[in-house]
Structure 1
């Protein structure tokens, strides 16, 4: 979940009849819609009956929703004061009534106060820019405020914002910007924030409130409005119908950030990175809709459409000024595959004395599957397991001797894709167990006999590897089929099902959205669960994650770890017999690897800084810190491909949309080309295993399945 508070529309509001904020009456154009009240009631009926751990929607639940709603709005406690919180007190036990009586004015009224406070603080921030801060004073900015008390007064919240603006200013000053340039940059930044605030809609308020309710049940239950549901479906099937352009909102313009290779936009040759879309028409010769200043998702909705239909774009070229000459580009919409999220392969060569070992790497960002195409019998449906099977075949032709499955930052996805992927590396048998709310246990099996890959393998995970990633890694570990390397995974061991609200009540319109609800819990085939504890690697690699801040253990309402009887399965191997030697070689090698040691040092320094939760606003101190960092970078010169180069740039004080797009893309490209220390070391560990197996056939018997023992 994001830790950034949402920036919302400015407005004055009348509170609900049953609810008042210190007798103030406020009004706003943002008000609940009838279909939202219907969706809220229907969601409550489903959650209170069919959730894995059902809870009644009563006053006790209302209090929990109230606290989570405020946390969702103002996570860092930068807008509300204690007086605001006190004025909301009557709402604490009335949110259940708001849902059950289909009257959502109370959460919308709370939202209105939030809107008002954002406007006040951003306006104050812009006023502060008229004065130059004094950076000789010894004071700090306390930025990690999630667990801080609410500001006791208006003066206290103003002082917080004074320090926040001062920190923004100091970052730019240390980057070499003049006071005049800093004022221009920050004023534009705060103005853009207010402009984004003005674009929020009733749908946004409702989704935030409904997620406060849904996520009170457990961290992975959520509500998706119709547009969010569409985006979820796109992410699962890795395809959409459109023009093949990655768009970004920059200074009120919808700007082209990337062109998808092979897509209509790229093939036309008429569009380039940095071009701005200021109008959209539904066909050549049709009238344009002016989209300057629109929300990005609204512009995207206009650009997407039916396959083979025409969309026309009014383009302000990248090099043109605001009054520059426009041009019109007409494109035929096509199905666009999101190949960046598809499985990809590469080969890493590691050296063992005079021998060179070829380690195949398959990087899988998500467990995707086009459920709709599969259900229709499309033999070419998109699937993570199908793509990995194809890549394994290619790696065999590439003469790879071992395979590393890189699941870092893979947050999961399709359960069936995870089961099928596991089946590529085992003969057949159970992969994962599920227990539903009635306590019934079902075993999910791989039923396809044979191996797509029977040789040595390993799985690389980190703290962001979750859900389906953990199912796969746990099964590989339990079967003794391969090594698990990296960090302890996220710890999400629950099963979600998507309920389409319109289908439940058999109506098409109005669109009510979808409910992604926890209905069961995963268990490993050994009987344990990945819930809360995650998957523990066989060989641990450096981790920058703090379990108290990221992962299932950071959630206040996560389900506990538990255990059920093991499924009936036979281990395919016992690679743990090799672990003492592999760990010793890993330790010896990484002790000599400067980049690896630099990474360890950086993580330790980062962890120490993070625990401080504040930063000095004294210029001399900050310059000394920057100079020390520059000295460390200078001392680390170890080749252009060094991992140290990834931290070689200093903070420029800018936000992503304030940098030139070309500079951003160049930085991303450099990051991708830089040496991946953990991936390289993982390949070396697999190379060590290969060496041991080939040197001693008895170890091969222990480490590999029967199909590979020859």
Structure 2
């Protein structure tokens, strides 16, 4: 699953990890000053042209739903490319589009003929227009604005037409700049500070645009082609491929820090526990990196003003190699004393994105029960380490199995697997994770482009957890999450609770294009394709494609389904079904689902926390559905006071319910600043407060499982119906108990 941010939005992204691939001192020196701003016009390389043609050969022959690269596909690529460059329609005019019109049917020729000059000309004009627009906005700041008019600003331009001419574009940007100014004015900022803040913001945007290079241009164009075949096929350039690999294996070789671009500096946002940076005791949150040196004696190269991924690339390196950082400490001014730190790169685990557990104690009617919760952000797996026989390879299933053992030691009576916003990952991990909760049997069916169906399942006897369980899902639960949730539901193994899922029913595989070329260099040049090769089906024969997984007990939707999910893609595969696999449900949750639903409805009807969540959700939907905003100060001030009163009420209700600080769990009023314009300290505090905020949906899910345990303990016949295998395999918490061997997580061949 993925979101498709525009290129303009991508420019604002600022946080990344630090990890792989060493560079020589010569490479670092060569990349110094000239890398700050790219030289226009950007031109495609021979390698990029070859990579485009090679990608087309794969996509037109081996894609699950292969389509010819012809004039019809060219028009789709053109539209997708324009959307990636100017999806909000704020840079190009209709006159610009007229210049591009001949390219609509020439994108296929550009790829087949290895002539990418057309797509690159569009990207170059995008850079020019973006700089022009920001320069125009900076000029408007000098004169200020009149906020006593009845003007308004339409900020949702996805369905708008491109401006007819320069005059219409100027009007649009005047309104955008007015709104930026008005947001800061409403937050109480004086005019001089507003002018300074916005001028710095727009100048910074210009600098970031100027740093765009040929790899950015090629990545944008190739993704437009890849995503025109289906929503989940991607082209990954060398930079993107490396980061994708890190996200799957949750480890890297580097210094163990998270970096963020802020002003002209690269700043330490987080120091990873047990990494080289943390162990040194010399690297702190807020420190700024001003220079980098490779090895113990390589030259120090100034990196002030560099784009973030260039800094990251030169800090990353192979295990046991040395990198030196010249640091401007967090508490020092710009003229403060620099410190030189030498670090030896090591393998660093990204534990923040790994599975985690906690225990929730539910007290009701004089009864207290412990419910275990495992939060799984993704179905990660270190495929490389697994192939090499590393017994400690990183795996979502192995981590969850370990956490289940710990939860049992803490005497929990039910387990919640929280898959909210889990966008998927490894198909093999989804299969193996399901095996922790069933004895044996099929888990998922996979059909390839030839129509051949394979059944994948769990062949190992025993379960790691055989007691009551629930799976939490929402619209952000996709792909591997849907495989797991669907299998648990089809077996009757546990309750599915939350919102309907994303609806992604396709399988992707990574194709390393360098393997199919004569690239003898160790440095990747051609990138990778993440290409759809299969469709998966539930063991009941249905598909999660478009429809997703419907929970047994549904929570209120937040309205995002209108523009988020598989059904929002124009080129999504249709829903279909195949014959069911040979399986038998292990329990019948319908035996107590009506009782659980009745208890849930009665409890939430009188729950102050649930009512508060619904009120906040209604406000979110109301704000989200707005597309136009007034530019009149008096009107906006009135609206702000109304919103302030509403949020004050929300905060007071949160405090009364949670007993915490009165700002916990509630939004704050718009301060007019972008994320990297606030102090790092305040940003990190906001994130910390958000993590501590009450989670009424998780609490209610735990309470539903509390009810389930109570019903099971009070009725042996019911327990035999709703527990797996008639209660034969049950944890000590069950009234129908027989112990069973635990199932270890078994390594199997990896699949994507």
TM range (shorter): over 0.9
Within a 5 Å distance, the mapping from 1:445-484 to structure 2 comes to: 445-484=457-496
1:501 paired with 2:498, answer no
Within a 5 Å distance, the mapping from 1:105-120 to structure 2 comes to: 105-120=117-132
Out of 5, 8, 28, the residue aligned to residue 6 of structure 1 is 8
Q: Which residue of 2 aligns with 1:552?
A: 566
Out of 668, 674, 677, the residue aligned to residue 687 of structure 2 is 668
Q: Residue 356 of structure 1 aligns to a residue in which SS?
A: strand
Q: Which residue of 1 aligns with 2:24?
A: none
Offset from partner CA, 1:41-76 (integer Å, 9 cap, x none): 000011000001111111111111111110111111
Following superposition, the deviation at residue 611 of structure 1 comes to: 2.3
- Give me the whole-angstrom Cα distance separating, in 1, the residues matched to 2:443 and 2:138: 57
Q: In the alignment, is the contact (CA less than 8 A) between 2:154 and 2:629 conserved in 1?
A: yes
1:52 paired with 2:64, answer yes
Q: Residues 371 and 483 of structure 1: is their aligned pair in 2 closer, same or farther, counting only changes over 3 Å?
A: same
Q: In the alignment, is the contact (CA less than 8 A) between 2:440 and 2:462 conserved in 1?
A: yes
Q: Which residue of 2 aligns with 1:619?
A: 633
Following superposition, the deviation at residue 356 of structure 1 comes to: 0.5
- Give me the whole-angstrom Cα distance separating, in 2, the residues matched to 1:3 and 1:341: 22
Out of 524, 528, 535, the residue aligned to residue 521 of structure 1 is 535
The two structures have a TM-score, normalised by structure 1, of 0.96
**Greater mean alpha carbon deviation, residues 83-92 or residues 473-482:** 83-92
RMSD: 1.5
Following superposition, the deviation at residue 662 of structure 1 comes to: 0.8
1:684 paired with 2:703, answer yes
- Give me the whole-angstrom Cα distance separating, in 1, the residues matched to 2:707 and 2:663: 25
Following superposition, the deviation at residue 647 of structure 1 comes to: 1.8
Q: In the alignment, is the contact (CA less than 8 A) between 1:7 and 1:194 conserved in 2?
A: no
Q: Residue 646 of structure 1 aligns to a residue in which SS?
A: coil
Q: In the alignment, is the contact (CA less than 8 A) between 1:308 and 1:334 conserved in 2?
A: yes
Following superposition, the deviation at residue 160 of structure 1 comes to: 1.2
1:265 paired with 2:277, answer yes
Out of 551, 555, 564, the residue aligned to residue 578 of structure 2 is 564
Following superposition, the deviation at residue 673 of structure 1 comes to: 0.9
- Give me the whole-angstrom Cα distance separating, in 1, the residues matched to 2:113 and 2:192: 54
Q: Residue 535 of structure 2 aligns to a residue in which SS?
A: strand
Q: Which residue of 1 aligns with 2:677?
A: 658
- Give me the whole-angstrom Cα distance separating, in 2, the residues matched to 1:333 and 1:522: 40
- Give me the whole-angstrom Cα distance separating, in 2, the residues matched to 1:634 and 1:623: 16
The two structures have a TM-score, normalised by structure 2, of 0.90
**Greater mean alpha carbon deviation, residues 313-322 or residues 58-67:** 313-322
1:207 paired with 2:215, answer no
1:140 paired with 2:152, answer yes
Following superposition, the deviation at residue 121 of structure 1 comes to: 0.8
Offset from partner CA, 1:309-352 (integer Å, 9 cap, x none): 11100111112222222110011111100000110110001112
Following superposition, the deviation at residue 7 of structure 1 comes to: 7.3
**Greater mean alpha carbon deviation, residues 696-705 or residues 633-642:** 633-642
Q: In the alignment, is the contact (CA less than 8 A) between 2:127 and 2:210 conserved in 1?
A: no
- Give me the whole-angstrom Cα distance separating, in 1, the residues matched to 2:229 and 2:483: 23
For CA contacts below 8 A with separation 6 or more, give which structure has more relative contact order. Answer: 2
Out of 506, 511, 514, the residue aligned to residue 525 of structure 2 is 511
Q: Residue 508 of structure 1 aligns to a residue in which SS?
A: coil
Question: How many residue pairs were aligned?
Answer: 693
Q: Residues 340 and 7 of structure 1: is their aligned pair in 2 closer, same or farther, counting only changes over 3 Å?
A: closer
1:698 paired with 2:700, answer no
- Give me the whole-angstrom Cα distance separating, in 2, the residues matched to 1:315 and 1:151: 46
Q: Residue 669 of structure 1 aligns to a residue in which SS?
A: helix
Following superposition, the deviation at residue 615 of structure 1 comes to: 1.7
- Give me the whole-angstrom Cα distance separating, in 2, the residues matched to 1:75 and 1:699: 55
Q: Which residue of 2 aligns with 1:641?
A: 660
Following superposition, the deviation at residue 642 of structure 1 comes to: 7.8
Following superposition, the deviation at residue 644 of structure 1 comes to: 7.3
Q: Which residue of 1 aligns with 2:44?
A: 32
List gaps (5 residues or longer) in structure 1: 10-26
Q: Residue 331 of structure 2 aligns to a residue in which SS?
A: coil
Q: Residue 285 of structure 2 aligns to a residue in which SS?
A: coil
Q: In the alignment, is the contact (CA less than 8 A) between 1:457 and 1:686 conserved in 2?
A: yes
Out of 354, 365, 370, the residue aligned to residue 353 of structure 1 is 365
Following superposition, the deviation at residue 703 of structure 1 comes to: 1.1
Offset from partner CA, 1:10-63 (integer Å, 9 cap, x none): xxxxxxxxxxxxxxxxx9341000100000000001100000111111111111
Q: In the alignment, is the contact (CA less than 8 A) between 2:268 and 2:288 conserved in 1?
A: yes
Q: Which residue of 1 aligns with 2:741?
A: none
Q: Residues 633 and 6 of structure 1: is their aligned pair in 2 closer, same or farther, counting only changes over 3 Å?
A: closer
1:303 paired with 2:315, answer yes
Q: Residues 691 and 160 of structure 1: is their aligned pair in 2 closer, same or farther, counting only changes over 3 Å?
A: same
- Give me the whole-angstrom Cα distance separating, in 1, the residues matched to 2:330 and 2:6: 30
Q: In the alignment, is the contact (CA less than 8 A) between 1:303 and 1:311 conserved in 2?
A: yes
Q: Which residue of 1 aligns with 2:27?
A: none
Q: Residues 191 and 641 of structure 1: is their aligned pair in 2 closer, same or farther, counting only changes over 3 Å?
A: same
Offset from partner CA, 1:617-655 (integer Å, 9 cap, x none): 222222222212222233341324389732242111111
- Give me the whole-angstrom Cα distance separating, in 1, the residues matched to 2:387 and 2:81: 38
Out of 248, 251, 273, the residue aligned to residue 236 of structure 1 is 248
Offset from partner CA, 1:71-117 (integer Å, 9 cap, x none): 11111111111111111111111111110010100000111111111
Q: Residue 161 of structure 1 aligns to a residue in which SS?
A: helix
Q: In the alignment, is the contact (CA less than 8 A) between 2:6 and 2:83 conserved in 1?
A: no
Q: Which residue of 2 aligns with 1:97?
A: 109
Q: In the alignment, is the contact (CA less than 8 A) between 1:65 and 1:95 conserved in 2?
A: yes
**Greater mean alpha carbon deviation, residues 129-138 or residues 687-696:** 129-138
Out of 145, 155, 163, the residue aligned to residue 175 of structure 2 is 163
**Post-superposition, which runs of at least 4 consecutive aligned residues in structure 1 deviate over 6 A?**
none
- Give me the whole-angstrom Cα distance separating, in 2, the residues matched to 1:256 and 1:73: 30
Q: In the alignment, is the contact (CA less than 8 A) between 1:7 and 1:118 conserved in 2?
A: no
Offset from partner CA, 1:190-224 (integer Å, 9 cap, x none): 01101111111100000000000000000000100
1:319 paired with 2:321, answer no
- Give me the whole-angstrom Cα distance separating, in 1, the residues matched to 2:375 and 2:467: 18
- Give me the whole-angstrom Cα distance separating, in 2, the residues matched to 1:463 and 1:643: 29
Following superposition, the deviation at residue 543 of structure 1 comes to: 2.3
Q: Which residue of 2 aligns with 1:23?
A: none
List gaps (5 residues or longer) in structure 2: 12-38, 731-735, 738-752
Q: In the alignment, is the contact (CA less than 8 A) between 1:211 and 1:223 conserved in 2?
A: yes
Q: In the alignment, is the contact (CA less than 8 A) between 1:483 and 1:575 conserved in 2?
A: yes
Following superposition, the deviation at residue 138 of structure 1 comes to: 1.7
Out of 583, 601, 618, the residue aligned to residue 597 of structure 2 is 583
1:340 paired with 2:352, answer yes
Following superposition, the deviation at residue 8 of structure 1 comes to: 9.8
Q: Residue 647 of structure 1 aligns to a residue in which SS?
A: coil
Q: Residue 6 of structure 1 aligns to a residue in which SS?
A: helix
Q: In the alignment, is the contact (CA less than 8 A) between 2:443 and 2:457 conserved in 1?
A: yes
- Give me the whole-angstrom Cα distance separating, in 2, the residues matched to 1:30 and 1:101: 19
1:427 paired with 2:446, answer no
Q: In the alignment, is the contact (CA less than 8 A) between 2:379 and 2:480 conserved in 1?
A: yes
Q: In the alignment, is the contact (CA less than 8 A) between 2:41 and 2:124 conserved in 1?
A: no
Q: Residue 97 of structure 1 aligns to a residue in which SS?
A: helix
Within a 5 Å distance, the mapping from 1:367-382 to structure 2 comes to: 367-382=379-394
- Give me the whole-angstrom Cα distance separating, in 1, the residues matched to 2:370 and 2:647: 32
Following superposition, the deviation at residue 602 of structure 1 comes to: 2.0
Q: Which residue of 2 aligns with 1:12?
A: none
Following superposition, the deviation at residue 508 of structure 1 comes to: 3.2
- Give me the whole-angstrom Cα distance separating, in 1, the residues matched to 2:388 and 2:331: 46
